[in-house]
Amino acid sequence: MGHAFVSGNHLMGFFANSLNRIQPAQTIAISAKARALKAEGRDVIGLAAGEPDFDTPANIKEAAIAAIRRGETKYTDVDGIPELKKAIVAKFKRDNGLDYKLSEITVGTGGKQVLFNGLMATVDHGDEVVIPAPYWVSYPDIVQLAGGTPVIARTRLEDGYKLRQAALDQAITARTKWVVLNSPSNPSGAAYSAAELKQLTDVLMDHPHVWLLCDDMYEHLVYDGFRFATAVEVEPRLRDRCLTMNGVSKAYCMTGWRIGYGGGPEPLIKAMAKLQSQSTSNPTSVSQWAAVEALNGPQDFIEANNRVFRERRDLVVSMLNQSRGLSCPTPQGAFYVFPSCEGTIGRTAPSGRVIGSDEDFATELLGSEGVAVVHGAAFGMSPYFRISYATATSALEDACQRIQRFCASLR
């Protein structure tokens, strides 16, 4: 007899309780839905995925091929090869004016693993983590997986989705372990200037028990002459309680290579390596060598890409603001916009369904015009939605025309 069929009943009580506290990343789920519709032959434009449409630069690919040829195909140190850690130390110095030692650097399988390790290694039951909304989808779920409680701090469209000092202060309690800051932000594109960041780090100076998780993943994707700043740069006294996280996924068009990194106090870095040693071990050896080239090699393609991103941002913001019921501020970073769809709530879509939420808006837009966006609730803020403009300009224009048509069709 072959394997017995495992029925649903057999599985009751099988899965860990911790799994009930999380959900699959909705951004990935919506991209998958759009791909499935496409496979059925529907004409779908996906604006849900958070990755550049540009290819990985050739010098980075060549470095990986050379590493394979040299036989760099074995296990490496758990949290990164020394060559990559050196490149990261140099990057922090060059771009951020920060001095980290090799022992204060960690490398993981994507920025996501670095965040995961940082939170998993520190968050216990009862611990709170302050997360400004709209937030990147994974923060609350990782906190909950660790047994902690996400405390959501609200922002407003009128403030460009930037957290105010008072809102941060009010969210902090005696149980707060971390505050998460992400600038430029996924999903809003909001980017904090050094002065705006200083307002928030001032609050943290009043709460010495709180650590800061600074997610700088979109550091290089800024427009209009915006000057990027990171927290430890504006408030060096936070150095001993800050994990500065970054990665090559977005700026270097390397989402599939899975390399992220962080700089922080040595005891935290060691704890994260301990955790990683019992899960994935080292990030892929070949990808690490590609990342060495990304960080040490020419950086000029970033500016060329940014010029394209900026044009697309301007196109999308302008076309969305000409759509009935939508309102979209102009963000200065990342490759997302986060328009409000409040003006469409209560109206009736061509399918006959009344739009009661941002989720309804996204579902009806996909159904009637074949444009995939992510509803704001997935990022903890309604009624809004996220568009990723890291897509061919012609497709973006087409998608925005469809959005305009959809909005005009609402009764």
Contact positions toward ligand PLP, by CB under 6 A?
50, 110-112, 136, 182, 186, 215, 217, 247, 249, 255, 260
d(CA 182, CA 272): 20
* Residue 216 or 369 having the CB closest to ligand PLP: 216
- Beta carbon of residue 334, minimum distance to ligand PLP (angstroms, whole number): 8
- Beta carbon of residue 186, minimum distance to ligand PLP (angstroms, whole number): 3
- Beta carbon of residue 108, minimum distance to ligand PLP (angstroms, whole number): 8
- Beta carbon of residue 164, minimum distance to ligand PLP (angstroms, whole number): 20
* Residue 136 or 384 having the CB closest to ligand PLP: 136
Q: Give me the residue whose beta carbon is nearest to ligand PLP.
A: 110
- Beta carbon of residue 113, minimum distance to ligand PLP (angstroms, whole number): 7
* Residue 113 or 382 having the CB closest to ligand PLP: 113
Total residues found in the chain within this entry? 411
* Residue 255 or 404 having the CB closest to ligand PLP: 255
* Residue 345 or 386 having the CB closest to ligand PLP: 386
* Residue 230 or 323 having the CB closest to ligand PLP: 230
Both tokens of residue 198? 């200083």
d(CA 338, CA 340): 7
- Beta carbon of residue 146, minimum distance to ligand PLP (angstroms, whole number): 17
- Beta carbon of residue 110, minimum distance to ligand PLP (angstroms, whole number): 3
* Residue 164 or 250 having the CB closest to ligand PLP: 250
- Beta carbon of residue 301, minimum distance to ligand PLP (angstroms, whole number): 18
Contacts of 76 (CB under 8 A, 6+ apart): 282, 285, 288
* Residue 112 or 375 having the CB closest to ligand PLP: 112
